[in-house]
Structure 1
Amino acid sequence: MKREESLHQFLTEPIYCILGEALCLGRGNIETARQVIDAGVKVIQYREKHKSWREKYAEASQIAAMCHKAGVTFIMNDSVDLAIACGADGIHVGQDDAPYSFVRRLAGPDVLIGVSTNTIDEIKGAIADGADYVGFGPMYPTQSKKDANDVVSDEAIRYALTQNDMPLTCIGGVGPENMAHLYKEGFRSFAMISSIISQPDIGAAVRHMRDILSKAAQEG
C-alpha cells in the first residue's frame, strides 16, 4: 500500500489498534490481528518489546501479509529494519527512537511515518520534521504502556487541536468511556490497546465504539 493510501485510511478510519501479546488474553498476536481485521479495523500497529528480532519478524511478516490481503494499513512500532523486512506500510517512532529524518532515509518515500508526542514542542518538532501523523498522549493514565509519559496538559491539547494540517491520533487510556468526550473536543482518531485486544469479543468491542462515535457525530 502506498503512503497516500495508508494516510487516507488513517484519516478516514477512527479506530487505530495496537497489538501487544501480553494483553491479548492468551490469543497471541496473529489470532488477535485476525480478529481485529475481521472487526473491520483498517489501521493496525505491531508493538512488541520483549521478543527476539526473529520472533518479531516471523509474527510481523504473517500479520503484514494478512493486512495487505485485507487492505489494512500495517504499521511497525520502533524498528525500521523490521518494518522494511516485513513490508510494513508504516513505521511509528517515539521521542527516544531513531529520528524522523533517519527513518525516512532508510524507509524511503512510500512509507507512512508517525511520531509519538506529549508536549507542544514535540508536536512542533514532528511537524517541522515532516511526519505524516502524530500520536498524541497519554490522554489519561494507562496501564497498557509501562513507560508512558505524564498525561498531556490542557495547553498541549488545545494546541494539538489547532494543528489542522497534521493528522493526529490520541492515545493513552482511550476507550468507550471517554471516546464521545474526546470526539466532541475535536479528536477524530483513537489509538487503543487494551480497549480492543483485551476484550473477550473484539468484534463486539469495535462495533460498540463505532456506535459511540456515530452517536457523538450526530450530536455534534
Structure 2
Amino acid sequence: MNTPLPSRIYPVVDTAQWVARLGQAGARLIQLRLKDMADEALHHEIREGIRQARAHGVTLVLNDYWRIAIAEGVDYIHLGQEDLDTADLSAIRAAGIRLGVSTHSDSELERALSVAPDYVALGPVWPTKLKKMPWAPQGTGKLTRWKQRIGTIPLVAIGGITLERAPLCLAAGADCVSAVSDFIRMPDPQAQVKAWLAATAVPAGM
C-alpha cells in the first residue's frame, strides 16, 4: 500500500524563506527547487530549508540534488526523467528518502512506474509560462487516465494550475495539486495558501 501525501496542495518554491512563510500559513508539503547556485550557497539554502520545514511541520521535497538529500536527510527527492539516468536510486532508498518522479507521456509513466515511486507528477495540465515545455497541455482527462493506471500511488497535477483550477484536478483523479506562480508570485502568498487549503479540503463525510 502506498503512503498518501501529507497534503492536497504542494507549493514549489525557490528559496528557503518561502518554506517558512508558506509553512506558517498551513502548507504541509513544499518542494524546494533551487537553480544556478554555487555549491556553498546551495548547501546552505538546503540546510535552511530543512530547518524551516522542521520548525513549521512541513514535509520537504528537494528537487534534483539527490546526493545532498541523502547527506542532509530530506523527506522526499523529486526527479525528472533525465535525472533517472544518473541518480543512485538504491542509495536514495537505503537512506529512507521517498521518491517523486515527473511524467509527461505514456513512455515516461512506464519508466517512472519501473522505479516504484512514492508519487507520480503529471504535467503540464494547462499551458505554463514558467518554463518552456516540449509537451502540449495534458488536460484533466489525462489525470483521470493516469490515476486509473497507477492505482494507489499518489498522483500530483502540475503546470498552469491556479486556485480556480485546483479542484478540477482533484475531481479528475489527482491526489494533490502543485503550483509555483500561484503561490509565490501572488500579492499575499500566505493568504493564497489558506485559499488553496479551503478550495481543496476534503468534503465533510468523505
CA distance 1:56–1:149, change in 2 (3 Å): farther
C-alpha deviations, 1:20-73, integer Å up to 9, x for none?
2xxxxxxxx232221111011111111122212221111110111111233321
Q: Percent identity?
A: 26
- 4+ runs of 1 displaced by more than 6 Å? none
Residue among 95, 105, 109 paired with 1:119: 105
Partner of 1:151: 137
SS in 2 for 1:161: helix
C-alpha deviations, 1:161-198, integer Å up to 9, x for none?
20222211000011112112222222220111111111
Partner of 1:171: 158
1:18 CA drift (Å): 0.8
Partner of 1:23: none
The CA distance in 2 between the partners of 1:147 and 1:51, in whole Å, is: 23
Partner of 2:169: 182
Residue among 15, 32, 55 paired with 2:9: 15
1:108 aligns with 2:93: yes
The CA distance in 2 between the partners of 1:174 and 1:42, in whole Å, is: 18
CA distance 1:83–1:156, change in 2 (3 Å): same
The CA distance in 2 between the partners of 1:124 and 1:145, in whole Å, is: 24
The CA distance in 2 between the partners of 1:136 and 1:157, in whole Å, is: 7
CA distance 1:99–1:112, change in 2 (3 Å): farther
- Contact residue 70 and residue 97 of structure 2 kept, 8 A: no
Gaps of 5+ in 2: none
- Contact residue 80 and residue 106 of structure 1 kept, 8 A: no
1:197 aligns with 2:191: no
The CA distance in 2 between the partners of 1:89 and 1:198, in whole Å, is: 25
Residue among 54, 63, 72 paired with 2:49: 63
The CA distance in 1 between the partners of 2:76 and 2:185, in whole Å, is: 24
SS in 1 for 2:200: helix
What is the TM-score normalised by the length of structure 2?
0.87
1:211 CA drift (Å): 2.1
1:155 CA drift (Å): 6.5
- How many residues are matched? 202
Gaps of 5+ in 1: 21-28
Higher helix share: 1
Alignment of 1:22-33 (within 5 A): 29-33=15-19
SS in 1 for 2:190: helix
- Contact residue 47 and residue 72 of structure 2 kept, 8 A: yes
CA distance 1:154–1:187, change in 2 (3 Å): closer
The CA distance in 2 between the partners of 1:52 and 1:118, in whole Å, is: 30
The CA distance in 1 between the partners of 2:84 and 2:120, in whole Å, is: 15
1:207 aligns with 2:194: yes
CA distance 1:165–1:65, change in 2 (3 Å): same
Partner of 1:88: 74
CA distance 1:121–1:217, change in 2 (3 Å): farther
The CA distance in 2 between the partners of 1:164 and 1:189, in whole Å, is: 14
Cα RMSD for the two superposed structures:
2.3
The CA distance in 2 between the partners of 1:75 and 1:141, in whole Å, is: 24
What is the TM-score normalised by the length of structure 1?
0.82
The CA distance in 2 between the partners of 1:37 and 1:85, in whole Å, is: 23
